[in-house]
Chain A
Amino acid sequence: DVKVTQSSRYLVKRTGEKVFLECVQDMDHENMFWYRQDPGLGLRLIYFSYDVKMKEKGDIPEGYSVSREKKERFSLILESASTNQTSMYLCASSLWTPWGRGETQYFGPGTRLLVL
C-alpha cells in the first residue's frame, strides 16, 4: 500500500520561530510536492522537487524553503514563521512522467499549523 507520511498532524508555533515540516514517502517516487490549503483558496503549490537536491518554486514560495537530501524525504522550512502562514500543509509524491501527462499524486494526511 502506497504511503506518504507527515511528521505531525497538528503543530502550534510562535511568530518568528523556525519551523520544519517533514514528509516521507515509501514509493521510490522521483517527484515530491508541498502545498498549502486555505478556505476559499483551494490547494496552492509552494515548492516541488523532481530529484534529490533539486527544487522548483511553485505558485507561492515566498517565506518558505525546502530541502531534499534523500529521495524519500522532502522538508518544508518556514525560516521565520508568521501568522499568515497558519494553514493546512499537504505533502504529495508521484512518479516522474513525460511533459503534459501528469502522474498520479499521492497525498499525506496533512499538517495543520497554527502560528501564534
Chain B
Amino acid sequence: DAKTTQPNSMESNEEEPVHLPCNHSTISGTDYIHWYRQLPSQGPEYVIHGLTSNVNNRMASLAIAEDRKSSTLILHRATLRDAAVYYCILPNTGNQFYFGTGTSLTVIP
C-alpha cells in the first residue's frame, strides 16, 4: 500500500501563503491524493483531493507533480484559524485511509 511522507511541523506568518509538501513515491496510477486537516479538539475535515491535474477550491489549492510522486497543499493566505494538523493521504487496499501523523502547522500572528 502506498504511503506518504510529510514534515512533522511547519510555521507560517499570518496572511502569507503556505506550501505544505507531501511525498508519495509509491503511488499507483489510479490513486487519488487526499488532504484533510484536524483543528484542535475536533475530528479531521476534508480539504481537497485530486488525481493528476492541479485542483482549487475555496479552502486551498492542490498542486500535483507531473510524475505524481509528490504534491503540495497551498493555503493562499494563512489565518490563525488554519493552525491545524494537515494530513496527506492515499487510499490503500479497500479504500481505507492511512492518516499517519501529518504536518502540524503553526501560524504566527
Which positions in A face B, CB cutoff 8 Å? 4, 31, 33, 35, 40-45, 48, 56, 58-59, 90, 92, 97, 99-110
Contact = CB atoms under 8 A, between A and B. Distances in A.
Given A100-B31, A101-B30, A42 B45 contact: no
A18 to B, nearest CB: 25
B28 interface: yes
B109 interface: no
A105 B28 CA distance: 21
B88 to A, nearest CB: 12
Given A42-B102, A110-B43, A104 B94 contact: no
Given A42-B102, A101-B30, A107 B96 contact: no
A69 B15 CA distance: 48
Contacts of A40: 101
B95 A110 contact: no
A109 B96 contact: no
B44 A102 contact: no
Given A90-B43, A90-B44, A100-B28, A105 B97 contact: yes
Interface string B62-100: 000000000000000000000000010111001111111
